A and B are shown apart, each in its own frame.
Chain A
C-alpha cells in the first residue's frame, strides 16, 4: 500500500502487465491480418460479423472506463437503487436501437455509417450534422479513455499520468491501424472475456472480504431513507431520468453502435443486441454494487474523489493479485472502447467525408484506406494531447448530448416518412439546439409563460422519447398512442414541477423542439421520397463504376 491507501505496484510490474495486455492483443490481430485489406472489411468487416463476435464487440465497446466509476459513484451516492439507475438505462441504449437498426440495414444493406444513409436521403448538410456529432462524441470518448488509463497507472504505480496516457494510446493504435474494424471486433471478444471473468470474480470477492451480506444489511442503517429505498425518487430524478432521456440519443449519435448495426449479419441483429444489453447491464450494475458496498461499510473516498471508490475497495479488502486483475479490467474496458472510437472515426472520415463529399461518390479505395489510417493516427494524437491537458469536458459533453437529442427525431422519422425534407431535418436541429441553450444556461428568465412554454416543449420531448421507443418495437399506431398518452400525462403532472430540474427540461426541449419543427416543415412539403433510392445510392466502395454524381443528389438537396 502507498501513503494514499492504494496497493502500489512497482514500475516493472505495471509495465509487464501493460506489455502483456497490449502485446497479447497485438499478437491476436496477426491471426486475422490480410495482405490486402479492402474498405468494406476495414469499415464493417464485410457486413458478416456473427452473433458471438457481434455481441461481444457491442458489449465491450459500450463498457468504457467511466462505466465502472460512474456506476460505483451512483451506488455510493444514491444507495441501493443507484447502480441500476446507471447500468439499466445504459443497457437500454443498446436494446432500443436495434429495431431501428434493422430498418437502417433494410434501407442501406451496404452502408457503413448512418451518415451515408442520411446523405442518400437528404444530402450533405443533414449528413454532416450527423457526422460532426459522431466525430465530437468519439474524440471525447477517446480522450476520456486515455485519461482514465493515465489516472489508473499514476495511482497504482510510480509511473506518471502522461506515461499511462501514451502507453494506452500507442497500444490501441498499434493493434487497430492495420485491420481497422476487423481488429476492433476480434480483440473485443478477447477483452470482453477477460473483463467478464474478472468481474465475476471481483464482485463476490469484495462482498465476502468486506464481511459478507450480514455487514451489508447492517450497513443499511448507515443510509438515508432515500438511499435505502429501491424506489428512491432522488435517484430516479437525478440519475435515472436524465439517462432515460438519453437512451435513444446516445444510440443514434454514436457511430460505434451504428457501425455494428451495419456489420453484424442482418439475421443476427436482434440476438446480438439483446445479448449485449443483458451483458452490459449485468457487468456495469454488478461493478456499481462495489460503490453500494463502500457506502454500506462506511468507507470515505480518498480525497473525496468518487473515482477512487473501486480501487480503494479492491485495495482495502483484496490481495494485490485482485488489484492486478482490476487493473486489467479497466485497461481492457478502456482499450476496447478506444479501438472502437478509432474505427468509428476512420469510417466517418472514409465514407462520410472522403467518399461522399470529397470524392463525390467516386472514391479510390486505396486513397480511402489511407484516409482511414491517417485518421486513426491523427485521432490518437489528438486524444493523447487533449488527455494530457486534462481538459474539462463537461461543456463539450453537454453540447454533444444535446445535439444527439436534437437529431433523434429527424434521423428516425427520415427513415420512415417519405415527406421529410433536408430543410426540415437541418432547421429542426438548429432550432432545437438554440432552444436547448436557452433552457440549459437559462439565457431567459425562467419564470411565468417562458418556463411554462419550455415545460410544454419538454413534455412533447418526453412524448417523443416514449413514442419512439414504443414505435420501434410495436409499430406506428402503438407509438402514436404511447406518445399521446405521455404528452397528456406530462402536461398534467410535469408543468409546474419540471422547472426544478432545468437540466432535464433542457434535454427534453431538444427532443421536443426538433420534433415540432421537423413535423411542421414536413407537413408543408409536397415531396415524396422513394426509399429504394437509398439502396442504390449507398454502395460498396471496393466496386468500381459507381453512378454518376449528378444522380446521387437527392431532390430535396438540389
Chain B
C-alpha cells in the first residue's frame, strides 16, 4: 500500500505541478491584461 502511494504520487505529482503553474500563468496574464487596459497600452 505504501509503495503504491509513493509510486502513484511520483507519477501524479507532475500533472499536479503543471496545474498549479497553469493557474499562476493564467492569473499573471489576466493581471497583465488589466494593467494594459488601465494604462491604455498594448498587451504585447
Contact = CB atoms under 8 A, between A and B. Distances in A.
A50 B8 contact: no
B44 A185 contact: yes
A108 interface: no
Interface residues of B, number: 29
A182 B44 contact: yes
Contacts of B37: none
Contacts of A275: 21, 24-25, 28
Nearest to B11: A289
A180 B35 CA distance: 23
Contact of B11 (A46, A55, A207, A279): A207
Interface centre among A50, A192, A212, A278 (most CB of B within 10 A): A50
Contact of B44 (A45, A204, A220): A45
Nearest to A189: B29
Interface in A172-207: 182, 185-186, 189, 192-193, 196-197, 199-200, 203-204, 207
Interface in B3-44: 3-5, 7-8, 10-12, 14-15, 17-19, 21-22, 24-32, 35, 41-44
Contacts of B15: 199-200, 203-204, 282, 286
Interface of A is mostly: helix
B38 to A, nearest CB: 13
A213 interface: yes
Contacts of A48: 41
A216 B32 contact: no
A223 interface: no
Interface string A283-301: 1011001001100000000
B19 A279 contact: no
A285 to B, nearest CB: 5
Contacts of B44: 32, 45, 49, 53, 182, 185-186
A220 to B, nearest CB: 8
A50 B28 contact: yes
Nearest to B36: A50
A52 B18 contact: no
A55 B19 CA distance: 15
Given A185-B44, A200-B19, A286-B18, A52 B25 contact: yes
Contacts of B14: 203, 282-283, 285-286, 289
The 9 closest A-B pairs by CB, nearest first: A52-B28, A286-B14, A52-B29, A50-B32, A213-B8, A282-B17, A279-B21, A213-B4, A282-B18
6 contacts: A50-B31, A50-B32, A185-B44, A217-B3, A275-B24, A279-B18
Given A50-B31, A189-B25, A212-B8, 20 more contacts: A45-B44, A52-B25, A53-B32, A55-B28, A59-B21, A59-B25, A193-B22, A197-B22, A200-B15, A200-B19, A207-B12, A213-B4, A216-B11, A217-B4, A275-B28, A278-B21, A279-B18, A282-B17, A282-B18, A283-B18
